Structure 1
């Protein structure tokens, strides 16, 4: 499985019964075979394929026979009638349709479909893969977390963590307890007599899970639900039933599945099989559509949606780059000429064409994505959309054809590309610039005119901006995939692929880039503001980031090693303590061995009921469950935490330090976030922990080279200052202009007390509110953050907005603008896409509106620091080389290496430029620190 893909898990058993109840009575073919379920499931699956395109799919059905739950409780699902005959007769057809559409089908004896779904969803979460579970089953709500969302396809409703709370009254982690208390009549889970939804919700939200209720029985009579005063004894008497119900309701996450996520089969429609099935079922309309798709070479699982024309887009409209619904063409139908440049004569002819061109699209092919270490394999160029060229340079295989000497290419081609009046276009051209730099074939930065990846992102910040997706969406064109060139397993380097094969792929990249610029620039020039943002901000910033990436950041490997030693020493101590507690030595990292030691050798009671002989998990939730009574669990959790810190940071960072320069080289991406914030990768320097002691120690390893000092400069509370500016709230503006501690000032305003009387707790509540309001936080969220009661938080929010009325109206204006336009604006006019604000799905719409409230502030902060980076870079360029180097950007912070003798001047100038980057109604305050390492400078 591509780890960047979304995983969609389909509850086939749920679909079967929902389709059955939705199908019309008597829906049969001419032979009397019932077909309604088959028809409805076919439509459901086709819609899911369209809705979740470019995802990996697994469809799961219940297996025949009973599950392990029947062995635990013989009455489990005993109240269910047998499967109706008219449904049973369609099962085989449904399975054939599922397989024909290309879905992997999984059905495992002894467990239920929910358990298989739980296992795959858990594996996906462990790998940080977003997962959609298509189901109508409420039991699966227990799986929902930040990566897992339920989707009810019948009603087109999503349930994220907030949605589960809104539907059931409790958060996902309490769903099992909820079912255990109230029972589940559909599965014949007994629960507790006399405990309904409201009672269960009150118990769980006011006291906690069942395990906490058992420890706090005396709290029950104090609760507000009906019958609370006499409920304690009823609860105690029902504990056996409650514990049994808890076991029955708990979804397994450790089922032995037939394939892992890395091996999820790719979708591949079997047209012939489907045509045979639909012919037998007499689905005439579907047959016509299917045969048309087969004959046109398009897949039923890749139906595109037509891109909205932007010819009439006004200044107040967000350009949409959604997928095109027209039939895709490829390079064979397009009819462009792809020219192989493998002789001196052809190179001279190409140079002549470049010298008479105004624009050239440029791209490189390399052996890897590491610009410092890769070899350039070839380069492609395009001057008009009917012709593109490929220059092979480093193809290496037996009987490889003619290739030009890189020195000849450098001598003839580079001067042509560096002609002052030439405009170079690329797609993610910063990568190509770095490749050329490390190949000693530098392109003139002044010639870099446009990047189509960044241009597409500016026009529609929610659209996919990789070349393949943009080609489909903007050009209705299907590109040659990288896998078609090197093979599905990607084990062959592109340099080992035949030149003739790479010619089409590489030349196509150049011609598609050229065509994308032509189409996207027409949309860009419709808006003066977008044009200014692109040419005055984003393209100059690209060149700043290029220089930053070449600079890299200096890292002390010895310091990392010291930290690594300290962490490993603690790890060894923890390991020894675990061995002593367990009275044996074993592989702590082995779940199997750990399980045997804890639950077999030590006889620690397993916190959940399981089938005899089943594997006993040692997952984090299991260890946390036993930790209060068995300290060895706390030791194991700390062991795992230390192991992760070592593998992710103190060891990993050492491996990517360049041996020659002693630096780490990260990439900064301009098209990685909807709001316009920069992101960082390989490694993600923006994600290094900053608040934990271990995280601060990691930043200590980022040091100044000899003769330099590190300077860290960051904007103070910039998003709060921006909301004060944009909302024009006079009280907030006054607090900032008079230099108050903004959180103390807020507490004083809300509580109507003197500023000097504000306590640390009151300030903390105000701080949570100040920052939370920008994310559309509710009183429920404030209560959770501050440990207020929900009623207290509600009153606090009401008082807050009473004191800052313009904030409330401003937030409402953002919502209304977002609904009307499907975008919001940053302070400088950047449009930030909010595509789901008008979704018919209430949960998606609410989530989109919450994001919309924060987007103007986050987008504005991002643009302000971009302006600052461009201006600081202009100042750096005016200095003698290497006097000051900008090395890292982390949202509102910049890191510099400054020559020691220039330190005072640099600090003053950096603070001045950053504070004057944008004029707000409140001051932009910049905190500047200097030290020999990042941690102390921050």
Structure 2
């Protein structure tokens, strides 16, 4: 997809509404009105607009009532339970908020959101317009082509043609047949019993199309072949039901689908009613602008920055004086690893005032790296300042920085503010990493680590990154940390109860967790290795007993083989089947059967022994730090209970 021109963005609003409702905590305002799904969807829209800045966008929702698919098949979606009242009550305020933000919103009776999206995607492809469909629905994979890409904003995974192939093992043009073979229990679309993703992909690889597979159905062996032949008559219906309609009559052309100016007064009213306090505050700060600005996230103006890379003692002395004169300063380390026990500091950055920051490198060792001050030159002079409890430091996840400084013999004191904890206390369901916070709170584009280090196996460690790129990135980190703190501090001052939680619980907890992590846990490696050997021996005994009960050898870890032994060979009454038509051998099923039959009891014992061995007795010794001889844990303060 071209990076020069923003893509046409189509948002599957219905998909995200349901996913946000089920994925997020059940948030309510003070009146008990549910708000979590609304919050989740708007957050997703905010992120999408911030990242892609589309010129054309539409948010598409399912219409109320039946669709043409119900005319095809009266039982379509008939098995779905009624929509929970807690979700139903959020639909109207969500629609109201989407429109007040200025998003074009489309709801067409008689068809589903997928069909509207498919119709626009078809038109865009014919016009050679790059299109990004934001959805979590696998059905839309059938729309992917050289111009159409999917993105799941919940996990930020993009899916182009290669991505569809990787995920489903079939190309986009085979997705309809793939879905028809499997059916869909959530939509009550009949498929072929016993056919799951692997079988459907295998058949389509061999026969290419559903029609060709049907023509050669007699070639398919075994019970799954019988199941295919028994269900040939319903496959055309299943294919029609899974096919997205791409010729819906559309009221607006793509060029008409652009963001309008937000209705600021309306937004202020909605935010107040739903008690979205952060957005309300940001709205007041931002004034008017694009829809994303009204959410409180994108303000294109960036503070003029003066960043310096310090390479000589005189410049370092000048900055050291600034730091000593300041009441507080933002501080950050750049290191070689995310593992705090192994990481080494390669440079430090700090900011005293917004827009002015410095990076002091001392361990960049790539070929051609310029001369830098030594570690002793830098950390030696900074140590008294860093260890001074009266000098207030502001940082992002300062527990990590404290760990890596300890690797250099420095005890970080004076941790006064931590932006990660401030963000968590204010809004626990948000993400609290720097990239997300800067977009949400400041609305400026910053340098991402991947921009300078690359991605994947070829990603550079910080000491390998050229100072021309590393310097601005590291200095910006300190500057942005200071700006984020100022914003979060302002928001916390308006929430006395939360401020008290932050100051009296979360901040004091930080050094406690730091100490626990540094101390680590002493384990008896020799005893664990002995126990691992004992567990392996007992597993062998249980395996043999299971083979004796079954009358043959089989893979105890294979649900398919186990199901065949239990329910077909031994004729044990089956409790239930999985979505793919296989016998369920879940723990709950085996526990119920174990009261009457010995083989399920043996399988449960084997699973328990295997879990103990693989998770604890085998793995824990591998976690022992070579330097301390202990296992060092990591406690995350910013996760919702």
Q: TM-score when scaled to structure 2? A: 0.58
Among 513, 525, 532, the alignment partner of 2:481 is 513
Matched, 1:430 2:479: no
The residue matched to 2:624 in structure 1 has which SS? coil
1:716 counterpart residue number: none
C-alpha contact (below 8 Å) 2:283/2:293 kept by paired residues? no
CA distance in 1, matches of 2:467, 2:183: 46
The residue matched to 2:148 in structure 1 has which SS? helix
Matched, 1:335 2:304: yes
CA distance in 2, matches of 1:371, 1:529: 33
1:522 counterpart residue number: 490
The residue matched to 1:668 in structure 2 has which SS? coil
Alignment deviations for residues 219-270 of structure 1 (CA, whole Å, 9 cap, x no partner):
xxxxxxxxxxxxxxxxxxxxxxxxxxxxx897965545779xxxxxxxxxxx
Deviation at 1:598, TM superposition (A): 6.7
Alignment deviations for residues 348-394 of structure 1 (CA, whole Å, 9 cap, x no partner):
23223222222211112222222111222322211111122222233
CA distance in 1, matches of 2:500, 2:177: 63
Query: In the TM superposition, what are the counterparts of 1:816-835 in structure 2 within 5 Å?
Result: none
CA distance in 2, matches of 1:551, 1:306: 38
Alignment deviations for residues 835-883 of structure 1 (CA, whole Å, 9 cap, x no partner):
xxxxxxxxxxxxxxxxxxxxxxxxxxxxxxxxxxxxxxxxxxxxxxxxx
Query: In the TM superposition, what are the counterparts of 1:37-436 in structure 2 within 5 Å?
Result: 40-41=113-114, 57-61=135-139, 99-100=148-149, 102=151, 104=159, 108=175, 112=179, 115=182, 137=187, 139=188, 255=198, 283-284=252-253, 287-289=256-258, 307-309=279-281, 325-326=295-296, 328=298, 333-419=302-388, 421-436=390-405
Alignment deviations for residues 41-63 of structure 1 (CA, whole Å, 9 cap, x no partner):
477899xxxxxxxx995433499
Deviation at 1:500, TM superposition (A): 2.5
1:28 counterpart residue number: none
Structure 1 residues 572 and 99: CA distance shift in structure 2, 3 A = same
CA distance in 1, matches of 2:117, 2:176: 26
Among 483, 492, 506, the alignment partner of 2:459 is 492
Structure 1 residues 344 and 58: CA distance shift in structure 2, 3 A = same
C-alpha contact (below 8 Å) 1:390/1:507 kept by paired residues? yes
Query: In the TM superposition, what are the counterparts of 1:823-902 in structure 2 within 5 Å?
Result: none
Deviation at 1:570, TM superposition (A): 2.1
The runs of 5 or more residues in structure 1 that have no matched partner are 24-34, 47-54, 64-91, 119-134, 140-186, 190-247, 260-276, 293-303, 314-321, 675-938
The residue matched to 2:351 in structure 1 has which SS? strand
2:618 counterpart residue number: 651
The residue matched to 1:308 in structure 2 has which SS? helix
Query: In the TM superposition, what are the counterparts of 1:796-815 in structure 2 within 5 Å?
Result: none
C-alpha contact (below 8 Å) 2:335/2:345 kept by paired residues? yes
The runs of 5 or more residues in structure 2 that have no matched partner are 1-15, 21-60, 71-107, 120-132, 153-158, 165-171, 203-245, 262-275, 286-291
Higher mean displacement: 523-532 or 598-607: 598-607
The residue matched to 1:360 in structure 2 has which SS? strand
Among 439, 452, 475, the alignment partner of 2:419 is 452
Matched, 1:463 2:433: no
C-alpha contact (below 8 Å) 2:115/2:248 kept by paired residues? no
Structure with more contact order per residue of length (Cα contacts < 8 Å, sep ≥ 6)? 2
The residue matched to 2:625 in structure 1 has which SS? coil
Deviation at 1:541, TM superposition (A): 2.4
Structure 1 residues 657 and 40: CA distance shift in structure 2, 3 A = closer
Structure 1 residues 621 and 460: CA distance shift in structure 2, 3 A = closer
The residue matched to 1:378 in structure 2 has which SS? strand
C-alpha contact (below 8 Å) 1:587/1:593 kept by paired residues? yes
Q: TM-score when scaled to structure 1? A: 0.41
Deviation at 1:408, TM superposition (A): 0.9
C-alpha contact (below 8 Å) 2:327/2:391 kept by paired residues? yes
CA distance in 2, matches of 1:387, 1:580: 75
Structure 1 residues 610 and 379: CA distance shift in structure 2, 3 A = closer
CA distance in 1, matches of 2:18, 2:465: 32
Among 529, 534, 539, the alignment partner of 2:507 is 539
CA distance in 2, matches of 1:111, 1:347: 63
The residue matched to 1:554 in structure 2 has which SS? coil
Deviation at 1:462, TM superposition (A): 3.6
2:541 counterpart residue number: 573
Deviation at 1:19, TM superposition (A): 8.0
Structure index of larger Rg: 1
CA distance in 2, matches of 1:306, 1:534: 16
C-alpha contact (below 8 Å) 1:362/1:379 kept by paired residues? yes
Structure 1 residues 117 and 465: CA distance shift in structure 2, 3 A = farther
Structure 1 residues 18 and 97: CA distance shift in structure 2, 3 A = farther
Structure 1 residues 610 and 524: CA distance shift in structure 2, 3 A = closer
Structure 1 residues 97 and 409: CA distance shift in structure 2, 3 A = closer
2:408 counterpart residue number: 439
Alignment deviations for residues 294-335 of structure 1 (CA, whole Å, 9 cap, x no partner):
xxxxxxxxxx9982218999xxxxxxxx996256357x9443
C-alpha contact (below 8 Å) 2:566/2:572 kept by paired residues? yes
C-alpha contact (below 8 Å) 2:357/2:479 kept by paired residues? yes
C-alpha contact (below 8 Å) 2:361/2:373 kept by paired residues? yes
C-alpha contact (below 8 Å) 1:554/1:662 kept by paired residues? yes
Alignment deviations for residues 149-194 of structure 1 (CA, whole Å, 9 cap, x no partner):
xxxxxxxxxxxxxxxxxxxxxxxxxxxxxxxxxxxxxx7x9xxxxx
C-alpha contact (below 8 Å) 2:539/2:610 kept by paired residues? yes
Query: In the TM superposition, what are the counterparts of 1:639-788 in structure 2 within 5 Å?
Result: 639-673=606-640
